Copies of this chain bind each other. A is one copy, B any other.
Amino acid sequence: MTASPAAPLRLTVAALRRFLTDAFLTAGLSHDDAATAADVLALADEFGVSTHGVKLLPGYLRRLAGGGARPAGRPRVLSEGPAWALVDGDSALGVVIGPYAMRLAIAKAQTAGIAYVGVHNGGHFGAIGYFALLAARAGLVGIATANDIPSVVAPGSRQAVLGTNPLAYAVPAGRHPPILLDMALSTVAGGKVYQARALGRPIPNNWIVGLDGQPSSDAGLYPEQASLVPAGSYKGFGLALLVETLSGLLSGAAVTHEIASWMTTGADQPTRHGAGFVAIDPAVWGDRAAFLARVDGLIDEIHAARPAAGVERIVVPGEHEFDHQRRVAETGVTFSADVAEAVRRAAQMAGLSLSDYEAVG
């Protein structure tokens, strides 16, 4: 049966992964690359970060069809040392380049203790927490950064000067899931404003400023007539500059206006995003088990803090996401209307029938 556009949509995690992989295969990716790209998007949906999951698929398929993102693009090392590498992303999908680059950083850090990998000729990198998590799964501390077209004002400016420039890190633990933070350095990522715009909802007045540099709660102004606000004003702005340094300036990638929009630039054009990856291996200078036990101890301390009235429990970053993942492993992922629409559009673009994937019920 073919679902109508208005029908709700729910997929098991396995079906979601199969759908994503099949879509990337029809777009010309290798089996390995399709599985990698599918894993990055699926994990975002499993974590409940619906702005960065399968919702991105139609845009990615469009660029793959146009050639701006190269289905057969192969990230490669341009130059390297024992503790660093520069990677040419070859305009592959960012979600294919990112795992390649972080795995390289991990391998180098396992010998050097710390390693930096800078990427140029990248694409939209999706939810970059995935890359940081690769390090934590291998027992290392991982940090990932990416740049993007300007959409965020400097404190006091009318116009955007930097991208939302996400920063993510992950720290491995022993008994606990890793600590995992993935955040835009704007108050919220642009995707949340697009979502409010699509749903016709007002937004808090610290999310965007209009062309006059004044706060607005009208999501409809973004992005043509408004820009995002840096998180915590000068603190988020300053961190976004550090992210631009790690992602673009040190890697030789495009920065600010040199980057093309993965959404609005012609699908035949590369976007030239940059990204930075840092891995640190505590086992190079100490005992990994002792390190993991200290991380567990710190998480236990934080869990034991008394909550304020109305707060159920105190969590560390990533905990809500891992909880969400456990839940949807049982229930499947239910998509909101805007995401369901994107899934149906992607199915059409890829020539796939959603009824082959949809959960019963």
A83 contacts which of B112, B158, B294 (Cβ < 8 Å)? B112
**How far, in whole Å, are A54 and B74 apart by their CA atoms in the complex?**
55
Report yes or no: B114 in contact with A242, Cβ–Cβ below 8 A.
Answer: no
Q: Is A307 an interface residue (CB 8 A)?
A: yes
Which residues from B are CB-within-8-Å of A294? 249, 255
CB distance from A136 to the nearest CB of B (A): 11
Q: A256-B301, A314-B156 are in contact. Are A141 and B238 (CB under 8 A)?
A: no
Which residues from B are CB-within-8-Å of A162? 302
A235 contacts which of B183, B245, B282, B302 (Cβ < 8 Å)? B183
Nearest chain-B residue to A242 (Cβ)? B169
Q: Is A8 an interface residue (CB 8 A)?
A: no
Q: A81-B113, A308-B213 are in contact. Are A291 and B249 (CB under 8 A)?
A: yes
**How far, in whole Å, are A232 and B309 apart by their CA atoms in the complex?**
20
**How far, in whole Å, are A113 and B284 apart by their CA atoms in the complex?**
18
Which residues from B are CB-within-8-Å of A83? 82-83, 112-115
Q: What is the copy number of this chain in the assembly? A: 2
Nearest chain-B residue to A115 (Cβ)? B114
A82, A286, A298 — most chain B CB neighbours (10 Å) = A298
**How far, in whole Å, are A235 and B231 apart by their CA atoms in the complex?**
8
Q: Is A57 an interface residue (CB 8 A)?
A: no
CB distance from A151 to the nearest CB of B (A): 13
Report yes or no: B305 in contact with A158, Cβ–Cβ below 8 A.
Answer: yes
A84 contacts which of B114, B237, B238 (Cβ < 8 Å)? B114
Q: A81-B112, A307-B213, A317-B238 are in contact. Are A286 and B252 (CB under 8 A)?
A: yes
Q: Is A2 an interface residue (CB 8 A)?
A: no
The A interface, classified by DSSP as helix, strand, loop or mixed, is: mixed
Which residues from B are CB-within-8-Å of A302? 154, 157, 161-162
Q: Is A216 an interface residue (CB 8 A)?
A: no
Report yes or no: A298 in contact with B249, Cβ–Cβ below 8 A.
Answer: yes
Which residues from B are CB-within-8-Å of A309? 212-214
Within 8 A of B (CB), among A96-146: 112-116, 141, 143
Residue-wise, chain A 202-230 has the 8 Å CB interface mask toward B (1 for contact) of 00000001001110000000000000000
A113, A157, A294 — most chain B CB neighbours (10 Å) = A113
Q: A181-B241, A249-B295 are in contact. Are A158 and B306 (CB under 8 A)?
A: yes
Which residues of A does B touch, CB under 8 Å? 79, 81-84, 86, 112-116, 141, 143, 153-159, 161-162, 169, 171, 179, 181, 183, 209, 212-214, 231-232, 234-239, 241-242, 244-246, 249-250, 252, 255-257, 278, 280, 282, 284-286, 291, 294-295, 298, 301-302, 305-309, 311, 314-317
